[in-house]
Amino acid sequence: MALTNLCPKFEDAFQLLGKRWIGIIIRVLEAGPMRFNEMAEQIPDISKKMLTERLKDLEEQEMVERDVTPTTPVRITYTLTDKGKAITPALAEVQKWADDWVKER
C-alpha cells in the first residue's frame, strides 16, 4: 500500500529526528540544563564536532536554547525549549518499542 499524500511536515520532522544523535541529545537534555562537556560525557561515542553540529541543528529548529552567562570563564548551558520538550513523550514511546523489539548489541 503506497502513501500518495505523505504530509510534508511529517517528512520534515523525520528528516530532523532521523539525523544521527538528535534523539539521544534530546533524551540527555530531558534531565535539565547541561553544559557541553556534561553532554559529551553522557554520550561518549559522539565527537565534539558532531555534538556541536547537532546542537546547532536543534537551536535552528528552536528545540534547544543556548544560554550564555558572561562570567569568567563564560558559562554556556543548553536547555530544551517547550518545542523540544514536546517531542519527549514520542521518544519515550520509541524507548518502549526498543525495549520490546530491538536486540541488544
**Where are the domains positioned within the chain?**
16-98
Q: What is the pLDDT along the chain (105 residues), one digit of tens a residue?
A: 555 678 899 899 999 999 999 999 999 999 999 999 999 999 999 999 999 999 999 999 999 999 999 999 999 999 999 999 999 999 999 999 999 999 988
pLDDT at 5: 76
Answer CATH for 16-98 from 1.10.10.10, 3.40.50.1820, 2.120.10.30, 3.30.70.20? 1.10.10.10
> Cβ contacts of residue 40 below 8 Å, gap of 6+?
46, 48, 51
Place of cell 559522539: 46
Per-residue DSSP letter, 104:
P
pLDDT at 3: 58
pLDDT at 4: 63
Place of cell 557541553: 36
* DSSP codes, 39-78: HHHHSTTS-HHHHHHHHHHHHHTTSEEEEEE-SSS-EEEE
